[in-house]
Amino acid sequence: MTKSIKLLGAPLAMALSGCMSLAPKYERPAAPVAASYPVAGAASNQAAATIAWQQFFGDARLKQLIGLALANNRDLRVAILNIEQARAQYQIRRADTLPTVGLGASGSRTPGANDSITSLYSTGLVVSTFELDLFGRVHNLSDAALAQYLATEEARKAAHISLIASVASTYLATLADDELLALTQRTLDGRSESLKLIQLKYDNGVLSKLDLQQALSLVDSARVTLAQQQRQKAQDLNLLTLLVGQSLPASLAPGATLAATALGDLPAGLPSDLLAVRPDIRAAEQQLIGANANIGAARAAFFPRITLTGSAGSASSELSGLFKSGSFGWTFAPQLVLPIFDYGRNQANLGSARAGREIAVAQYEKAIQSAFREVADALAGQATYGEQLRAQQAVAAAEAERFALSDLRYRSGAASYLDLLDAQRSLFSAHQAAVQANLQRLQNQVTLYRVLGGGWSAQ
């Protein structure tokens, strides 16, 4: 029996050691982007991708929310399960490169001459149909499955990074909602007090009905804005709850205000750095590697396919004699199939594989170009949002002084109530714009952190 197993194993070992691959040699396409970004990033010795999110975000409340999202978010859970599925598919393909050995038992009864019946019973080790991978067909299919698995792993990393950025951006939006609600409430309270005074003056014949209606309009406009901002905050909280994957706990740590939140400038590095730190680019390259391996499998289909089937064990014409002395037997059945007429099936499969590779090349190049554009846009924001915020804060300060002067002139009778109303509207709009500018600046830093590959951690 040992001798027979050796006879079966010898050609298998030769096949495993001697197979060749017909896949084209893989060469990474050149990056179809400029060598540097249009706007330079900040100077730093630490790349954004190496800055842990716990270090980049200082707000204790935000850190808790990100931790909850990484544990409970359903999209991230699906991405992790996709990895498990791709790993299983790769293991299946990898198993195809090795023979399957099992225990088998069989029996047959065949009618013969003179009404006789021939019986045959056997049991023992069975090597199921196994392909000698001389031209790398099975090996290339295994490589393609491995590339798919690795691409799925990179997709999980991209989902991880995107989730962190989404939680941070939404959290910042809720902080802005709080500031805007407080600003609108103060404005509504101030306008309501002014309306009482205007109503009193109108009742005493000091002011016209036009002044009264203008004051009423201002109060109602503030109420409209307050309702809009209350709705926006509720929607932002709903989105944050969805991202976190559970109801927001009441025991969250105290958080900072939007005005007190600070996120540092980030270095951009070079576009070539993105190839190593962006999971979406690495995923696209793995898809390209898999498509390259599929060409090798399609090419191998044009060559002979050799399969082996064998068994070794006990055989007898009687069931009672199956395990008696001298009942040992073995079979070895090689088969060679050379495709001759397949009506163009193999040629079509090869053409499909080549087209798939060209599609994968285009998708890989697009991933690089999209990443370059995202980083360039975020760098432009980093270079300009700070100045925009400073200018908007200066506008708000000027409008505050203008309102104070208009109020003083109105009280002294040197200006009309219309001038005071215009100053009130401008001051409110300037304060709102300052809050929005600060939110855009901070959210842009979160975006830059994400597009530079920051946020991934193995934990």
- pLDDT for residue 145 is more than 80: yes
380 and 441 fall within a common domain: yes
| Residue 230 confidence (pLDDT) | 96
373 and 226 fall within a common domain: yes
Q: Which two tokens stand for residue 86?
A: 């791709």
- pLDDT for residue 4 is more than 70: no
- Here the contacts of 178-186 (C-beta below 8 Å, separation 24 or greater) are 178/233, 178/257, 178/258, 179/257, 179/258, 179/259, 179/435, 180/229, 180/432, 180/435, 181/226, 181/229, 181/230, 181/233, 183/428, 183/431, 183/432, 183/435, 184/222, 184/225, 184/226, 184/229, 185/226
- pLDDT for residue 6 is more than 80: no
What is the residue range of 329's domain? 1-23+101-132+304-337
| Residue 8 confidence (pLDDT) | 40
188 and 220 fall within a common domain: yes
328 and 431 fall within a common domain: no
Confidence class for position 287, pLDDT limits 50, 70, 90: very high
- pLDDT for residue 265 is more than 50: yes
Confidence class for position 7, pLDDT limits 50, 70, 90: very low
Q: What are phi and psi of 224, to 5 degrees?
A: -60, -45
- pLDDT for residue 30 is more than 60: yes
How does pLDDT run across 151-169, given as a tens digit for each residue?
A: 999 999 999 999 999 999 9
CATH number at residue 291: 1.20.1600.10
Point out the least confidently predicted range of 23-32, 93-102, 194-203, 447-456: 93-102
Domain contains 168: yes
Domain contains 356: no
| Residue 207 confidence (pLDDT) | 80
- Whole-number percent of the chain with pLDDT over 90: 45
Confidence class for position 113, pLDDT limits 50, 70, 90: low
For residue 103, give the DSSP letter: E
310 and 294 fall within a common domain: no
Domain contains 387: yes
Confidence class for position 57, pLDDT limits 50, 70, 90: very high
50 and 197 fall within a common domain: yes
Domain contains 17: yes
44 and 76 fall within a common domain: yes
75 and 159 fall within a common domain: yes
277 and 156 fall within a common domain: yes
Structural domain count of the chain: 2
CATH number at residue 122: 2.20.200.10
141 and 160 fall within a common domain: yes
409 and 291 fall within a common domain: yes
| Residue 20 confidence (pLDDT) | 75
- pLDDT for residue 16 is more than 50: no
- Rounded mean pLDDT, 63-89: 89
Domain contains 457: no
| Residue 320 confidence (pLDDT) | 65
- Rounded mean pLDDT, 298-321: 77
| Residue 399 confidence (pLDDT) | 94
Q: Which of these three, 294, 321, 337, is where a domain ends? A: 337
- pLDDT for residue 15 is more than 60: no
Domain contains 277: yes
Domain contains 200: yes
327 and 294 fall within a common domain: no
| Residue 170 confidence (pLDDT) | 96
| Residue 393 confidence (pLDDT) | 96
Domain contains 344: no
User: 112: how many CB neighbours lie within 10 A of its CB?
Assistant: 8
